[in-house]
Amino acid sequence: MNPTSEEVIVVGSGVGGLSCGILLARLGFSVTVIEKNQQAGGLMRSYTRDGIECPVGVHYMGALDCDQILRHIFEVLGVYERIPLERMGKKGVVDRYIFDDFTFDLPVGIQSYGQRLFDAFPDQPNAIRELVGKLEATSRRMNLESLLFSRPKDDSLLDSMESMGGFLNEFGCSNGLRQVLEIPTAWLGVPLEQCPQPLFLMTLASYLTSSWRLGCSGTQMAETFASRLRGLGGRILLGERVTEIHVANRSASGVSLESGNSLQAHLIVCAVHPKTVLEIVPPGAVRPAYRNRISSLEDTQGCLSVQVAVPAADLPARSYNLIRYKNIDCQPRIVFCQVNSTRLPDTNLLAMVSPSPFDDWRAWETTRTGRRGEEYRKEKEARARLLLKEVEPIFGPLDRARILDIFTPLSIRDFVGSANGSTYGVLRSTRQLLRCALMNRTPVQGLYLAGQSVTAPGILGTTIGSLMTVGLIVGRERLRSIILE
Ligand SMILES: Cc1cc2nc3c(=O)[nH]c(=O)nc-3n(C[C@H](O)[C@H](O)[C@H](O)COP(=O)(O)OP(=O)(O)OC[C@H]3O[C@@H](n4cnc5c(N)ncnc54)[C@H](O)[C@@H]3O)c2cc1C
């Protein structure tokens, strides 16, 4: 493909769509990103309640130190310098895991992590040694050269099929160690037993090598991506939902928008949930086998997220995250908490996220944001109050806490179109790994997928997915040319 101003349409302006757009614009394409919402950024974007910025999909990120992978990706995208970051773990703790009978502090550094595990579980030396070895090996491979350009080994697919369940069984891991390992899998939405080892190791290693919070709002991060794309000549159409992808002779040729407009392009990247793509591709454009494969993929669970304003005197800001883990009816219940200062001098924000199945909200399935009725409001409120009660033993009484906002899987579904409001898109479990392999290709020529469902979720996983999709479109050597620049 020539480096001309060939038109490309990117559907969706989340971090997946914007990063694809930036890379393609850098490669000389004429990029149009189409976003159904009035503002760009998807889950990256924060929102304001009572003057307080509330995060949606960026609480913290890993691997942003010098020579680390997400830093390199942000540099390639040209956004690194313009996203203020705050290093976590300066006082030795990135995450504090709070279990019923013990507490575990996740430190910075793989060796320190290993040491803390040895201290906490002295009867599990073999499992810990093996885990630390695997984390070290993973972190050595966590660079763009290895991930994008090295030839996959013949047995790499088999490697990726190994589950953390296999690891736990092989080493007879104790319940305590199992629980500690369970928490990072919550950042992928995959149960520990079915979590592919490489995905688990990469996620954990990314946070262990260095962890960062935004020193700005999610909105500012989203706007940085958007303005970088515009600076490269790309355009972003806001408030325009793509309702159909045009396919002629099995090739993509353009899109129709809800507004009645249409755009032409022979290259289209859909950075939305793959099931959304099925809805907008004409019925006969893909074979039934492909349609069945995508539509039957299991998705990750949704979440309940509660934003709470608390007097700073009652709840000081913490430089680390707190994660409450409780076994309820033999099911792990994880509540992620972050306490940050806000623009208001005496008020801190307690942001909480906890998994919440779509079934809990099915009664309002046919409703739309803002019009779900009083019963829904009461249900949200009751569940949010329950979460607050659950974290009170950690923080002390929160009588003066004021709930600013609550979002549910229905909110996420309507906001970004994620199937059943799933938090992290398609479930990348070992059980369905083969069915979601090579997801960035489609049977339609010129139509590609990007976004969190194609490779891995999170800002790191999604941007790696964008690089892979762009590599597929332009070839590895052209992709390499902008990475080395
Ligand atoms: C509560 C929560 C907390 C999280 N915390 C973290 C974290 O701390 N760290 C981390 O790394 N990751 C975190 N994540 C995950 C991370 O936010 C996501 O993996 C990532 O943002 C996904 O980006 P995306 O581009 O794939 O999707 P999205 O951000 O969902 O973007 C898709 C975009 O496509 C648009 N769209 C959909 N359909 C159409 C259509 N038909 N036409 C036009 N536009 C359309 C949507 O409106 C949306 O803007 C979190 C996620 C959630 C939900």
Q: What pLDDT score was predicted for residue 485?
A: 82
The angle subtended at Cα 61 by Cα 59 and Cα 66, nearest 5°, is 150
What is the tens place of the pLDDT at every residue in 424-456? 999 999 999 999 988 999 999 999 999 999 999
* pLDDT above 60 for 3: no
* pLDDT above 50 for 303: yes
* pLDDT above 60 for 154: no
**Looking at the structure, do residues 265 and 326 belong to the same domain, yes or no?**
no
Amino acid identity for residue 197 in this structure: Q
Q: What pLDDT score was predicted for residue 330?
A: 79
| Cβ 59 vs Cβ 350: under 8 Å | no
For residue 136, what are its two tokens?
A: 């070290």
Number of structural domains, the chain? 3
Last residue of a domain, one of 212, 228, 260: 212
**Looking at the structure, do residues 195 and 222 belong to the same domain, yes or no?**
no
Q: Is residue 2 part of a domain?
A: no
* pLDDT above 80 for 463: yes
Model confidence band, residue 5 (pLDDT cutoffs 50, 70, 90): confident
Q: Is residue 90 part of a domain?
A: no
Q: What pLDDT score was predicted for residue 327?
A: 86
218 Cα to the center of ligand 1, angstroms: 12
| Cα-based distances in Å from 416 to 115, 244, 304, 423 | 41, 17, 15, 10
Q: What is the CATH number of the domain that holds 24?
A: 3.50.50.60
> What is the Cα–Cα distance from 252 to 446, expressed in whole angstroms?
5
> What is the Cα–Cα distance from 252 to 264, expressed in whole angstroms?
9
Amino acid identity for residue 175 in this structure: N
The H-or-E segment that residue 199 falls in is helix 197-209
- 195: nearest Cα among 300, 117, 90: 300
> What is the Cα–Cα distance from 11 to 420, expressed in whole angstroms?
19
Q: Is residue 224 part of a domain?
A: yes
For residue 68, what are its two tokens?
A: 């680390």
- 22: nearest Cα among 238, 222, 232, 220: 232
Order of strands, sheet of 251-257, starting from the edge strand that comes earlier in the sequence: 242-248, 251-257, 262-264
**Looking at the structure, do residues 228 and 271 belong to the same domain, yes or no?**
yes
**Looking at the structure, do residues 208 and 220 belong to the same domain, yes or no?**
no
> What is the Cα–Cα distance from 163 to 146, expressed in whole angstroms?
22
**Looking at the structure, do residues 133 and 183 belong to the same domain, yes or no?**
yes
What is the tens place of the pLDDT at every residue in 232-280? 999 999 999 999 999 999 999 999 999 999 999 999 999 999 999 999 9
Residue nearest to atom 41 of ligand 1 (CA): 242
Q: Is residue 95 part of a domain?
A: no
Q: What pLDDT score was predicted for residue 205?
A: 98
**Looking at the structure, do residues 352 and 268 belong to the same domain, yes or no?**
no
Give the 3-state DSSP-derived string for 80-97, with helices as H, strands as E and coil as C: HHHCCEEECCCCCCCEEE
Instruction: Give the global pTM.
Output: 0.97
Q: What pLDDT score was predicted for residue 2?
A: 46
For residue 261, what are its two tokens?
A: 């407009």
Amino acid identity for residue 314 in this structure: D
Amino acid identity for residue 245 in this structure: I
Q: Is residue 92 part of a domain?
A: no
Last residue of a domain, one of 212, 230, 256: 212
- 406: nearest Cα among 372, 365, 367: 372
406 Cα to the center of ligand 1, angstroms: 17
Q: What pLDDT score was predicted for residue 332?
A: 85
What is the tens place of the pLDDT at every residue in 80-95? 999 999 999 999 999 9
> What is the Cα–Cα distance from 10 to 134, expressed in whole angstroms?
37
**Looking at the structure, do residues 111 and 162 belong to the same domain, yes or no?**
yes
**Looking at the structure, do residues 111 and 161 belong to the same domain, yes or no?**
yes
Last residue of a domain, one of 381, 397, 419: 419
- The arithmetic mean of pLDDT across residues 201-223, rounded, is 98
DSSP bridge partners of 447: 268
> What is the Cα–Cα distance from 201 to 199, expressed in whole angstroms?
6
What is the tens place of the pLDDT at every residue in 98-143? 999 999 999 999 999 999 999 999 999 999 999 999 999 999 999 9
Model confidence band, residue 96 (pLDDT cutoffs 50, 70, 90): very high
State phi, psi for 456 to the nearest 5 degrees. Answer: -165, 155
Model confidence band, residue 155 (pLDDT cutoffs 50, 70, 90): low
Model confidence band, residue 4 (pLDDT cutoffs 50, 70, 90): low
71 Cα to the center of ligand 1, angstroms: 20
* pLDDT above 80 for 398: yes
> What is the Cα–Cα distance from 252 to 246, expressed in whole angstroms?
6
42 Cα to the center of ligand 1, angstroms: 5
- 298: nearest Cα among 188, 426, 144, 420: 426
| Cβ 451 vs Cβ 461: under 8 Å | no
What is the tens place of the pLDDT at every residue in 330-372? 788 999 999 999 999 999 999 999 999 999 999 999 999 999 9
Residue nearest to atom 31 of ligand 1 (CA): 14
**Looking at the structure, do residues 11 and 30 belong to the same domain, yes or no?**
yes
Question: What's the mean pLDDT when you consider all of the chain?
Answer: 95
What burial class does residue 171 get, using C-beta atoms within 10 Å of its C-beta: 0-12 exposed, 13-18 middle, 19+ buried? middle
Q: What pLDDT score was predicted for residue 83?
A: 98
Model confidence band, residue 1 (pLDDT cutoffs 50, 70, 90): very low
Closest ligand 1 atom to Cα of 18: 25
**Looking at the structure, do residues 79 and 114 belong to the same domain, yes or no?**
no
Closest ligand 1 atom to Cα of 305: 1
Q: What pLDDT score was predicted for residue 159?
A: 65
> What is the Cα–Cα distance from 17 to 9, expressed in whole angstroms?
10
Question: What is the domain range of residue 142?
Answer: 107-212
Residue nearest to atom 45 of ligand 1 (CA): 12
Q: What pLDDT score was predicted for residue 204?
A: 98
60 Cα to the center of ligand 1, angstroms: 14
**What's CA 283's distance to the chain center, in Å?**
30
Model confidence band, residue 328 (pLDDT cutoffs 50, 70, 90): confident
Residue nearest to atom 10 of ligand 1 (CA): 458
**Looking at the structure, do residues 117 and 179 belong to the same domain, yes or no?**
yes
Q: How many CA atoms lie within 13 A of 378 on its CB side?
A: 3
> What is the Cα–Cα distance from 132 to 437, expressed in whole angstroms?
27
Mutational pocket test of ligand 1: of 23, 210, 244, 272, the residue with most ligand atoms within 8 Å of the beta carbon:
272
Q: Which residues line ligand 1 (CB under 6 A)?
A: 11-17, 34-37, 42-44, 56-61, 241-242, 271-272, 276, 303, 305, 353, 412, 416-418, 423-424, 451-452, 457-459, 462
**Looking at the structure, do residues 188 and 236 belong to the same domain, yes or no?**
no
DSSP bridge partners of 444: none
What is the tens place of the pLDDT at every residue in 48-66? 999 999 999 999 999 999 9
In percent, how much of the chain has pLDDT > 90? Answer: 94
- The arithmetic mean of pLDDT across residues 399-424, rounded, is 97
> What is the Cα–Cα distance from 457 to 199, expressed in whole angstroms?
10
Handedness of CA 71, 77, 81, 82 (dihedral sign): negative
> What is the Cα–Cα distance from 208 to 141, expressed in whole angstroms?
14
Model confidence band, residue 409 (pLDDT cutoffs 50, 70, 90): very high
